[in-house]
Chains A and B, each alone.
Chain A
Amino acid sequence: MPATQGGEIALDRVSRSYRSRSRGGNEVQALAEVSLRAETGELLAVVGPSGCGKSTLLELLCGLQSPDGGTVACPPAVLMPQRDLLLPWLSALDNAALALRIAGLPREPARERAQTLFVELGLDGFQSAYPRELSGGMRQRVAFLRTLLAGKPVLCLDEPFGALDAITRSEMQEWLARTLAREPRTVVLVTHDVEEAVLLADRVTVMSARPGRVVAQLEVEIARPRARTDPNVIALRERALAALGMDTSR
């Protein structure tokens, strides 16, 4: 199941507009000629301000939308949405195993298949807890495991840690890096946290707001594990912020 081959993504001059109801039915351009690529097993971070079309980008990759122009080449991808969207009526383990149930496994075999990773990802003891009984970080772990167990070569993560407090967030970033080292996938991580992008990604695509355009592509060639205080990390973070048009020297 771990996909170490055939996970490369290529977007070529992709545009996408939609009619916005909140803007009086006007045409809004979400993406304008966006080109980007990710090799198999790479983690591509996409950073940008709100309204840069990041969510649209992920829905294009997952096949939930089609582009108006340009081409999207992406193997089967699965979305981890911004909110965890765990089903409140399923236990944590059953939520993690949801994709297996949908693939046709009965309840018990699905649980058994999910059990190993559930324990390895630090969730042991919470198998039968309902989502509302879990902390925010725990819920994100379960949601990530559900995404992982969908068995697709590409994972699309939409600001997975955006709603967490700072301490939990940095724990979860380390956890994600460890997990991906064990279960390699091609990952597209959308975030508005530039530091998160630099800490986790192999390359960073910086986008501008409406319409979403690529304003910078940065390769991150820093050895892992990366520390926030590493001068290379700080330098790259400043370059990304500069590309976003933010002056950080003051």
Chain B
Amino acid sequence: MSSRAARMLPALVLALALLGAWELYVDLGGVESELLPAPHAVAAALWSNGGLVWHNFTITAEQVVLGLGLALLAGLALAVAIHLSPLLRRAVYPLAVGSQAVPIPVIGVLLVFWWGFGLFPKLVVIALICFFPVVVTTVDGLAAVDPEQAKLLRTLDASRWQTFRFGELPAALPAALSGARIALAVGVIGAFIAETSTPSTEAYSGLGHEIMSDAGGFQTARAYAATAVLFGFAVACFYALALAERRLAPWANQSRGDTR
């Protein structure tokens, strides 16, 4: 426990230093508090609007988790398909790259037209934003398997499926997990984009909606409070995935364990 606390110390010190500098900057009149509320005002806004922020957070958190799940499934499936079929690689890769350039608001209304005002169009947006790093890292991981190892599996009479199952798939897992971490880092902002670019009913508004309406309605402190929650959520997700990695790929972890 004490070593874990020691490892968290640098991040805590840096965060506190930045918060202190921010507080001083606003208190000493460097900027209007309507433009940038001081940390103590953000904390106060979070405290007095706890119920509202929590309610919207649960909506956004659900979107992030389900959206990332969809992105991982789609990304892994696409990566395996690309790996197994050179034809698919040539056909699909350029389109996957291009998909990352599509501005989401352009297609937001279309997605709602297809799938309604509920949760699903938002999951599609998050998946669209997040699947790409999973595809790229997994395809590279699958291709990087030692050719000698593949040859060895062949002399042991492994079928194509067995070579994949015992050789390529576990070899690619650490790379796929790195892709998942990148996806996760953009997943939270992905949820924000999903909420603000697809029209929806009240039940699916979430923190993104709240931040946009607060920022437009001179509720800056509350917008910052909601942003702080998104910030903390992204960090928590990232470390949750790091924990999951230790479970999923224990062989890859101890050699670089202390950097966590």
Contacts and interface: CB of A to CB of B under 8 A. Distances in A.
Interface of A: 62, 64, 77-79, 81, 83, 85, 87-90, 98-99, 101-103, 130, 132, 146, 150
22 contacts: A62-B155, A77-B155, A78-B155, A85-B146, A85-B148, A85-B149, A85-B152, A87-B167, A88-B251, A89-B170, A98-B166, A99-B156, A99-B157, A102-B153, A102-B157, A102-B159, A102-B166, A130-B250, A132-B251, A146-B156, A150-B155, A150-B156
Nearest to A149: B156
B246 interface: no
Given A64-B151, A79-B155, A150-B156, 19 more contacts: A81-B148, A83-B148, A85-B149, A89-B170, A89-B171, A89-B173, A89-B249, A98-B156, A98-B166, A99-B157, A101-B166, A102-B156, A102-B158, A102-B162, A102-B166, A130-B251, A132-B251, A132-B255, A150-B155
B55 interface: no
Contacts, number: 52
B154 interface: yes
B156 A89 contact: no
Interface string B245-257: 0000111100100
| Chain A contact residues: helix, strand, loop or mixed | loop
Contacts of B170: 87, 89
Interface in B129-183: 146, 148-149, 151-159, 162, 166-167, 170-171, 173
A61 B161 CA distance: 25
A103 B156 CA distance: 9
Interface size range of chain B in the complex? 20 to 34
A151 B162 CA distance: 18
Contacts of A85: 146, 148-149, 152
B164 to A, nearest CB: 12
Contacts of B250: 130
Nearest to A133: B254
Interface string B15-50: 000000000000000000000000000000000000
Contacts of A98: 156, 166
B64 to A, nearest CB: 29
A78 B151 contact: no
A103 B157 contact: yes
Contacts of B153: 102
Q: Most chain-B CB neighbours within 10 Å: which of A87, A98, A101, A130?
A: A87
Contact of B149 (A64, A87, A103): A87
Contacts of B249: 89
Nearest to B153: A102
Contacts of A101: 166
Nearest to A88: B251
A150 B251 CA distance: 25
A98 B156 CA distance: 8
Contacts of A88: 251-252
Contacts of B167: 87
Q: Most chain-A CB neighbours within 10 Å: which of B151, B173, B251?
A: B251
